[in-house]
Structure 1
Amino acid sequence: MRFGILGPVEARREDGVTVSVGGARLRGLLALLALDAGRIVPTERLIEGLYGERPVTGEGNALQSQISRLRRSLDVPVEFHPAGYRLVVDGEEVDAHRFERLVREGRAAESAAVRSELLGQALALWRGPALADVREVPFAPAQAARLEELRVDVTEDRVEADLELGRHRELVTELQRLVEAHPVRERLRGQLIRALYASGRQAEALTAFEDARRTLADELGVDPSPELREIHLAALRGELYAPAAPGRTEPQDRTAGVRSALPAQLTTFVGRQDDLAEVARLLERARLVTLTGPGGAGKTRLALEAAAAVKDEVGLVELDGVAEGGDVAQAVLTKLGLRVGQDSPDPADRLVAALAGRRMLLVLDNCEHVVAAAAELAHRLLSACPDLRVLATGREALGITGESIWPVSALPDALAERLFEDRAAAVRPGFALDEDNLAEVRRICQALDGLPLAIELAAARLRSLPVAEVAARLEDGLGLLSRGSRTAQPRHRTLRAVVEWSWSLLDEQEQRLARRLTVFAGGGGIEAVERVCDTPDALELLASLADKSLVEIVGDRYRMLQTIRAFCAERLEEAGEVGTYQRAHASHYLGLLHEAAPHLLRAEQLEWAARLDPEHDNLFAALTWAIVDDHAMALRIFADLSTYWWLRGRRGIGVRPARALLAALGPAVPTGLEAEYAICVAGAAESGAHLENAKRLMREMDLISGHPQLTFFWGSFVGPSIDDGLLELMMERVKASPDPWISGLNHVGKGFLCYLMESDVAGTEREFSLALDYFRSLGERLGMAMALSELVRVAAWRGERERFSELIEEALRLVGELGAQEDIADLLCHRGEGELLLGDLDRARADFERAAELARRVGALEGTTRASCGLAEVARLRGDLDEARRRYEEVLAREPSGSFGESLNAVQIGVALGWIAAAEGVVEEAVARQETAFAAALHVQSLPVLASAAEGLAGAASLRGEHDEVALLLGVGKRLRGMTLPGDRDVRRVAELARAALGERRFAEAYARGAAMSREELAGLL
């Protein structure tokens, strides 16, 4: 009899017939015995494994009954012993034991072939998920998880052996499937990168690393391991092993009969291996292949590499020396050195005669300025010479039937960086990408659109400039990149020369549209181009510009590479059209924002935000222009753009343009734009004359009715004091508004008052629940998430684990739909803080780590600070006081001097450092920290923060042995917050010490005095 648990549990006789075992519990009993085949399994373990920690009544009798049924089902003995039961079979008869034996032998083998074979045999024993049909039996999940983990480990070992054997191509698909199933296993990720690279798919290998980095950050909140980063760096440097492709041979000497042999290359071929493979495939099935793309994209080099791999005779003809309107056929004839058919006056006839009987690849390089003549010649030659193939390069296709076109686009980031590294190392020996220069190299490559020529020119500047200086000077890219190879064609020596050549090939109408297109910072759709550029026939002209590689078509949008855009913008300035078309551009995008604004606060917000996403660069460019040239338009743009930024979690992006706009405005506020002005003041997040001016306007006028988002922006970024009367006035106007979104916000405001100022936990929950109902009725996701996040806080305070998890998951889902990374980071911190109170430090740490990474990635400084404080608190509660102190003090050191004196963070960090000093036994420091934190809390308009500070003072009093004061201050903490926090370990500890010292009656009396204090008594005490 053989037994299987690596899949559904089964028993088979020697003849292969499966024996019916029975129900899930009986199969579970067989699996439990089989896991220890031949050994005694204690009765207690069998009972717990079958029935769990709370077994059924009469569990011993129930187990005996199951054993009896198993004996009747199987033709093998199950022996009874005083200590338990034993399945009397050899371990080799159980697939799990055979699996583990093969794994041990395989891992011990020195030969990669033997390892691969034995580990492959072990994995072949699996028939599906382990214990697949008994997972509901209590023991099964843990055992299945152990076996499944071992299965993946063994798979990685077998893959490693296969990689050593050079089976890279065969492994790619399997590894992609494995990575999809186990996305955070870094060894599999590294193996996939190595397999892709060695299969000649270098671009995909680098993309695989970027995918791994994103997944690890999103799922675990961690960076790739040093081992995975080393694999990535080796791929960037071209140091991963990559065997020659099957059937690939070194190029032969093809000079016989053709004078134009392919030139030897002086630099390595970097970044186009995938393109090279595709061009090779095209040349196998098509007789005319054209490589198209903008100047500097690397078309010529790719063509030469592709030609070098061809076994046939190759002829290279560079057409850039042929004048526009010149005789292309004669140029080809001369370049190839052919002397056939001298009696014919027609060069094309002589070429046909010379090439008709030859198996040859003819490379026609740089056809753009003679495209019509090159197309006519290629068509004639291909028609008359059946063994001829043509590989052409140009900024537009030849336009012949049967032509296969391969666009040569910009290099992706990783490959562009690798090219920069290679070329930079040539002029600055020892240069290599590392953590110190990678960000600047990436900035250079992105600014140059990944164009190989531009990148090579930039790398060449490292002879005299450091990387940081090159990156800083890229605003003048056309001027900076003005020194190329002296032996290159004149139009390839500088970036400006490359673009000038492209410009010279355009007709007047094409040049007109090309220069006007430069007002689009992020490209545009056909309707926007027609309106802004005042060009009714824009579609036809755009198609022509795209054909000539001056414009890229991305989906339904048309965009220019930055280098081309910079050159064409100079032509717009020379034509005196800058102001006209920048105004038209800004007006168009103001209209789009005005149309979108009401929809951004309703259920259709995702659709409208998605419409604005690809236009963000244009929206920002329109705002930037208007700040200088049209202040009224700038205020309108900023007001509506702020709503979009808020929705997408990009709130900090508006601070700088808001401040620039206020500086440009001066003291005057355009009539009729008071609300937009107030939104701009809120977005600038600064005090001063503009803030006071905005407050005055808001007291004098109802600015909320037409701009409901003003209420939120003001409360979020300015936070009106309760003593200046503005808050009450705003709430009155909000209450009177019929807008349901404002009504939801009204309840948010009331909820914050209950939470911050009234010690009313029940009121807080009531108001945020009402706000949630309003926002749900509208389908407005960020409003819902805002209300949910405060209800999450209440659930954590009360220790309601299930409700806490339900609410925070819904909030995270909503902001995830919005793609608001900054808000996701904030909610992760929120969840981490709740987990601290609920007692799960591991979950809290994971949330804070992920939040820190997200906040760092989007530049959210407040989120970074909050996550850092959370990680410090996890360390403190775990007893790692040195780590906690270090993290808290790092946060303090990052803040500008003076900004922390009266801040909420100052209180929280001060209280925490006080608890740390108390745990270390440093009484004086602990008391000083808590007293300083309490003094700062008096200036923070938040009763819960003040409550935490009062509880911190209780901790200081405990160190002094003043237990009556401890009880009183803990009661004050409850009075200020509205409740005690059951999960607060510090409060619980000092309360227990005070109870032990005072006795329950005295403690309760002092505690009750603090909890019953009136506002006047509290004010006097504080």
Structure 2
Amino acid sequence: MIRLRLLDDVAFDDVGLPAGRGHALLAVLATAGGRPVPQERLVEELWGRDDRPANPAKALQVVVSRVRAQTAPGVVQRVEGGYRLGLAAEAVDVLQARDRLRSAIRAEGAGDATTTMDAARAVLKLNVSPAGEGPVAMLRDAARADRSRAEALLGRALTALAQHAEALPLLESAPVDDEATQLALLRSEAAVRGAPAALHRYEQLRADLAERLGVDPGPRLQALHGELLAADHPVREGLRYDASTLVGRDGDLATLRALAFEHRVVSVLGPGGLGKTRLAHLLGRTAQESQVHLVELVGVSDPADVVGEVGSALGVRDSVAGRGVLTPAQRADVRGRIATQVDQGSTLLILDNCEHVVEAVADLVAYLVAVCPRLHVVTTTRAPLAIGAEHVFALGTLSEDDAVRLFLDRARAARPGTHLVVEEVRRVVDRLDGLPLAIELAAAKVRVMSVADVARRLGDRFALLRGGDRSAPDRHRTLLAVIDWSWALLEEPQRRALRRLALFHDGISVGAAESVLDDPDTWEVLASLVDQSLLTVVETDAGVRYRMLESVREFGRLRLEEAGESAEASAALTVWATRLAEECGRDIWGIDQLTAVDRLHAEEGNLAEILRRSLAAPEPAVAVRLLAALGALWTVRGDHPRVIALTGAFDTALEGWDPPDELVDAAVGAALMVQTNSAVADVRRSRHARRLLEHYAQRVEQPVVSALARVLGGLDPHEMEHWEERLAGLCEDPDRRVAMLALQWSSHGKENAGDPRGAVEVAERALALWRPEDGPWGRGQLLAQLTGLHAQLGEREASRRRAHEVLPLLGRLGAHDDAVQVRSVLAVAALVEGDLETARVEAAAVTGLAARATGGLGSRIAVGPLQAELSLAEGRLEEGLDRYLRAVESVRGLVLPGLEARSGLEPWVIFTEGAACAALARHAAPDDDRAVHLRDALAVKAGRLLEGGRVGNDLPVIGIAVFALAAWEVLRGQGSDRVTLGVRGLVLADAFGYPRYSPSLDWTRWAAEAEARAPGELGEATRALAGRRGPELLARARALVARIAPPGG
């Protein structure tokens, strides 16, 4: 985001800066681009040599101080060597433009026309004012020169992308001293105004060079001159026109044009059904070359016939037309005549469908580009040519939006007037890999069935996706035929590999492939499948992985069933999965935790699918090993719903099963993950998790799992009424891990009992016991816990310090949900302190993290209230209140696995309703019925919380409900008695340890309101409690809520 503008105005954060020497100071510092500018030079630039102040250093400091006051303290920085601009290049318009220009120049040098175009456009978006004096005028003069360079770069890039109409005026206005611009200008003029106009301009260029320099145009210009002469008689052979539009390929076509312009040989690579052939025909129809020949090789079955087929298509086989097969000498003769034919001018040769004769095509293409300097070749193929001149363009599948657009277009063509629901269409195309052929075949079925029917029948996609366009070649009439074409080109080792690798649900690592294939030539087999576009290579943080389209995977599974290998292959997959789970399940609780997290994250999709199947089978011995590892990963990342969702299946699968000795650690580890994660959201407990902990905890050998089992074996997180006595001995246990975990749970207990100060002290004791060999997650959990506790106590600096300690840890672990909550604390602290700029930055970070989180509670409940508070702080009151009410509706509708029956008393619901109620009490209009309805609903819930058997579990939740109701009475109570009642409620909520880190719940603000409306009552109410906290005050809370509750509540 640009903060400092110098090109069209001088402004900071869209506020104009007063004219004067401050403008010159900022211009000189910006021109230096972040480098220090000596004080002496600044004085000379600002005052000149004839008007130097008596005390230059002091005068300069006055200007610097004024600029800082008008902008921000860090905009001008004092450093060794003078002063520098303290803003990133992206935040200063002139520096951003300079960076974009450099990017455009680099991209042009690398032959990347698309990036050149985008970067040059970014430069030209910034307007440059003709006004300005001194350093500002000099800066703008330089910026105008940069704009001229950007216009020439953009013009040349557009020419390379065949966008000639837009390129031409840019190139005509650009200096044409360099050959690259001259070439682009001639090409675009020929495309827009015809070859004669371009030839006329060439003559002008030639005459100008001869007159000024006495030289002829260079070889490249002369070659283009020859192309323009030939352009009056263009050759277009073998090209077809489409009966329907090509959807979603505009960007790919532009990229392919640029590549074909830059490189001698480009291979459009990808699996069948992507639309490679249609893209090649479209490229040929819009090509700039004087000759374009497209040769289809699908009908060539013998590699020896490739030269003859190409020769026939180009009309050079007359002397041997009667021969069915050419001799080697005749092939050499025809090959030479092909070269002569394509070397008569600029020529584009497109060879379509090369994979089944790829070696013969490679030999021919290598020869032709070696002897024909003006020839460019494009091939479409499922396997690369593997020659030195080749540049591979891997054509991707359609984006989701383009896939939906293609389906809608083709379905409406099949049955005009049909009503199509976009979300139903989206669900269909999501299962079709973005493969255009599959989408078109599915859309054609709308002629006789609904989209929902199509979706239901995709379980047998090969039976469904057949037929379609009768004008299409046979290999594109059914989805099965498309894949079968590639299958026919495989040898048995590759076929066996495809069958087995089809069992992987989410990509394949080399190690996994080696394990499941048990083949010493695994690398070579994988390379063969990649070459046939049956696997794609993906670079990930975990290294290279191989991915298979869903349609290819289903094809492989069908072939696996036909071969009778399913049981054997599934067993091999299970062995690999359980071995990996055992290794990572051991390491994830120790010093190698990060490595284990990375390994599990890379294979998460595969392992989760095998876990699902093992629970459904059931196979308890497999399930517990996988759940112990994956449950640990999801716990570390804060993805608690992933574990909670498996509780019912876990209980069913383990019915009547007892672990053998070698699986005790895994079984107890799995049980611990189920128990602790279900406790996070207070959802249903697992009877078998409890049974395993009770009967097997003492037999666990792994130290960390043993410590966890000892702590949780004597403590049910669902029943915390007697937590203190149960944990007391364990907090002093000689086993450091046991004591640390017990103290951590004790801290949670104290917080829930309304004692956040005691919770901090216990958490600090736990943190002191942490050691690196425990893995970083344990430390991260305690730091995150302390971040929230300090915020709850209003200790913002301590909270901020702990937050900055823990955020890098959470990021490294991928614990985005926990990071959302920590970042939210920082954002709210900034709001309370009135630092809106920091609050905006942190709120944006929260939103970004929430988008990356995978469904945890924090990411689903934090964003709405934070955005509401930001709007309120910025003075957009109605927007802020609307956002709060939408957040309330959102959390009320939040469904967690295992908690489908909602009570409305869930902590996240009460917190959001309480914060919203307090905000409405302060900001809503007196006649706003929404505020009254929310307040009345919360009063009823507060009564249920105090009477409903949940007392003792989470007193801060009771506290926030009491606080919000009390705040309402303080501001809106009718009469002094109601205001006094509200003040007493605030003090009670404080004694319950209510969470106060939302600005609408900030204790300091509300205490001031209370004192202003009922002087002395706050102190009186505080003294009346005599230091009592939480559980001792429940009777008072019940009485107070009963008086506040609406009639009939």
Are residues 931 and 198 of structure 1, via their aligned partners in 2, closer, same or farther at CA, if it must alter by over 3 Å?
same
Q: Which residue of 2 aligns with 1:173?
A: 119
Query: Alignment partner of 2:486: what SS?
Result: helix
Aligned residue in 1 for 2:750 = 754
| 1:821 and 2:816 matched | yes
Q: Write the distance in 2 (CA, Å) between the matches of 1:970 and 1:474.
A: 59
CA deviations 1:50-75 (Å, max 9, x no partner) are 9989xxxxxxxxxxxxxxxxxxxxxx
Answer yes or no: is the 8 Å Cα contact 1:768–1:787 preserved in 2. Answer: yes
Equivalent pair of 2:414/2:447 in contact (CA under 8 Å):
yes
1:311 correspondence with 2:294: no
Q: Distance in 2 between the 1:681 and 1:130 partners? A: 50
Task: Give the secondary structure class of the aligned counterpart of 1:553.
Answer: strand
Aligned 1:466-485 pairs, distance under 5 A: 474-485=458-469
Task: Tell me the SS of whatever aligns to 2:861.
Answer: helix
Structure 1 residue matching 2:546: 3-state secondary structure: strand
Residue of structure 2 in register with 1:300 after alignment? 277
CA 1:289–1:490: 2 relative to 1, 3 Å: same
Partners in 2 of 1:887 and 1:876 — Cα distance?
A: 14
Q: Verify the 8 A CA contact 2:730 2:742 in the aligned structure 1.
A: no
Deviation of 1:493 after TM superposition, in Å, equals 1.4
Offset at residue 774 of structure 1 (A) = 4.0
Cα shift at 1:930: 6.2
Q: Following superposition of structure 1 onto structure 2, how do residues 376-391 of structure 1 map, counting pairs within 5 Å?
A: 391=378
- Partner Cα distance (2:357, 2:100) in 1: 58
CA change 1:428–1:625 in 2 (3 A) is same
Structure-1 separation of matches of 2:125 and 2:820: 26
Match of 2:552 among 544, 548, 564: 564
What are the Cα deviations for residues 840-873 of structure 1, in whole angstroms up to 9, with x where unaligned? Answer: 6786677567645643664445532343344556
Match of 2:433 in 1: 449
Report deviation, 1:515: 0.8
Cα distance in 2 between the residues matched to 1:715 and 1:505: 58
Partner of 2:392: 406
C-alpha separation in 2, matches of 1:663 and 1:854: 35
Say if 2:43 and 2:52, in contact at 8 Å, map to a contact too: yes
CA distance in 1, matches of 2:247, 2:552: 23
- 1:531 and 1:326 map into 2 onto residues whose CA distance is 39
Q: Deviations over 1:910-939 (max 9, x none)?
A: 545664676566899798556434324432
Whether 1:199 and 2:196 are equivalent positions in the alignment is no
Report the Cα distance in structure 2 between the residues aligned to 1:200 and 1:739, rounded to whole angstroms: 70
- 5 Å matches for 1:745-894? 745-757=741-753, 759=755, 761=757, 763-775=758-770, 777-778=772-773, 780-835=775-830, 838=833, 851=846, 854-855=849-850, 858-860=854-856, 863-872=859-868, 880=878, 883=882, 886-887=885-886, 889-891=888-890, 893-894=892-893
Q: Is 1:631 matched with 2:641?
A: no
Is the aligned partner of 1:367 residue 2:382?
no
Query: CA 1:690–1:349 in 2, change beyond 3 Å: closer, same or farther?
Result: same
Q: How far 1:529 sits from its partner (Å)?
A: 1.5
Report if the CA contact (8 A) 1:410-1:449 is conserved.
no
Deviations 1:855-908 (A, max 9, x none): 366444553234334455667787658537733652465257962343324544
User: 1:592, CA displacement in angstroms?
Assistant: 1.5
For the pair 1:528 / 2:499, whether they are aligned, the reply is: no
Confirm or deny: 8 A CA contact 2:740 2:770 kept in the other structure: yes
Q: Distance in 1 between matches of 2:594 and 2:431?
A: 30
Shift of 1:319: 2.5
User: TM-score, length-normalised on structure 1?
Assistant: 0.70
Percent identity reads 27
Alignment partner, residue 498 of structure 1: 482
Pairs within 5 Å for 1:216-615: 261-269=238-246, 290-308=267-285, 309=287, 311-324=289-302, 327-336=305-314, 338-341=317-320, 346=327, 348=331, 351-352=334-335, 354-355=337-338, 357-359=340-342, 362-374=349-361, 391-398=378-385, 402-411=388-397, 413=399, 416-417=402-403, 420=406, 423-424=409-410, 427=413, 437=422, 447-461=431-445, 474-555=458-539, 556-602=544-590, 604-615=592-603
Contact 1:681 1:690 in 2 (8 A): yes
**Structure 1 pair 497–999 and aligned structure 2 pair: CA distance change class (3 A):** closer
Residue 58 of structure 2 aligns with an amino acid whose one-letter code is: R
Please list every run of 5 or more consecutive structure 2 residues that lacks an aligned counterpart in the other structure. Answer: 1-19, 30-41, 103-112, 127-146, 164-184, 196-227, 1038-1049
How many angstroms apart in 1 are the aligned matches of 2:749 and 2:231?
85
SS in 1 for 2:551: helix
Q: State the distance in 2 between where 1:328 and 1:979 align.
A: 76
For 2:605, which of 599, 614, 617 is the aligned residue? 617
Is residue 616–residue 649 contact of structure 2 (8 Å, CA) maintained in 1?
no
Deviation at 1:634, TM superposition (A): 1.1
Larger mean Cα displacement after TM superposition, 531-540 or 856-865: 856-865
How far apart, in 2, do the equivalents of 1:522 and 1:554 lie?
12
2:179 is aligned to: none
The two structures have a TM-score, normalised by structure 2, of 0.69
Offset of residue 588 of structure 1: 0.9
SS in structure 2 opposite 1:199?
Answer: helix
Count of residue correspondences: 868
Bigger CA drift: 536-545 or 691-700?
Answer: 691-700
Q: Following TM superposition, by how much is the alpha carbon of 1:570 offset from its aligned partner in structure 2, in angstroms?
A: 0.4
Match for residue 92 of structure 1? none
Q: Distance between the aligned counterparts of 1:259 and 1:997, measured in 2?
A: 88
Q: Mind listing any 5+ residue stretches in structure 1 that lack a counterpart? A: 33-47, 54-128, 160-166, 181-187, 205-241
| SS at 1:358 equivalent | helix
Q: Contact 1:413 / 1:446 at 8 angstroms: preserved in 2?
A: no
What's the offset of the Cα at 1:651?
Answer: 3.1
Match of residue 670 from structure 2: 676
Out of 939, 957, 971, the position equivalent to 1:945 is 957
When residues 492 and 901 of structure 1 are mapped into structure 2, their CA distance, relative to the original with a 3 A threshold, is closer
Contact 1:317–1:335 (Cα < 8 Å) also in 2: yes
Deviations 1:302-350 (A, max 9, x none): 4334444263544433222234577444544555554225698735256
Query: Residue in 1 aligned with 2:207?
Result: none
Q: Is the 8 A contact 1:974 1:1011 kept in 2?
A: no
**In structure 2, distance between residues paired with 1:284 and 1:952:** 68
Structure 1 vs Structure 2 CA RMSD: 5.6
The answer (yes or no) to whether the contact 1:968–1:1010 under 8 Å persists in 2 is no
Residue of structure 2 equivalent to 1:41: none
Distance 1:415 1:427 in 2: 18
SS at match of 2:902: coil
CA distance in 2, matches of 1:727, 1:202: 72
Match of 2:992 among 967, 976, 980: 976
Cα distance in structure 2, aligned partners of 1:737 and 1:246: 85
Say which is worse superposed, 545-554 or 878-887, in terms of deviation. Answer: 878-887
Secondary structure of the residue aligned to 2:976 is coil
Pairing of 1:122-141 with structure 2 (within 5 A): none
Instruction: Tell me: CA distance 1:130–1:734, structure 2 relative to 1, closer, same or farther (3 Å).
Output: closer
Distance in 2 (CA, whole Å) between partners of 1:843 and 1:610 is 32
**Which moves more between the two structures, 580-589 or 987-996?**
987-996
Residues of 1 paired with 2:625 and 2:885: CA distance? 46
Give the drift of 1:558: 3.0
Question: How far did 1:470 drift?
Answer: 5.3
SS in 2 for 1:321: coil
Deviations 1:683-728 (A, max 9, x none): 5679999624433443444267637469889989x97244576886
Distance 2:640 2:1030 in 1: 37
- Which whole-Å deviations, capped at 9, do the CAs of 1:969-1019 have from their partners, x for residues lacking one? 55544443399999877866776677678764x764543122344888635
Aligned to 1:79: none
CA distance in 2, matches of 1:385, 1:50: 64
Output the CA distance in 1 between the equivalents of 2:830 and 2:154: 41
Alpha-carbon spacing, 1:735–1:155, altered in 2? closer, same or farther (3 Å): same
Distance across 2 between alignment mates of 1:446 and 1:156: 38
Q: Is the 8 A contact 1:967 1:1004 kept in 2?
A: no
Q: Aligned in 2, Cα 1:893/1:853: closer, same or farther, shift over 3 Å?
A: farther
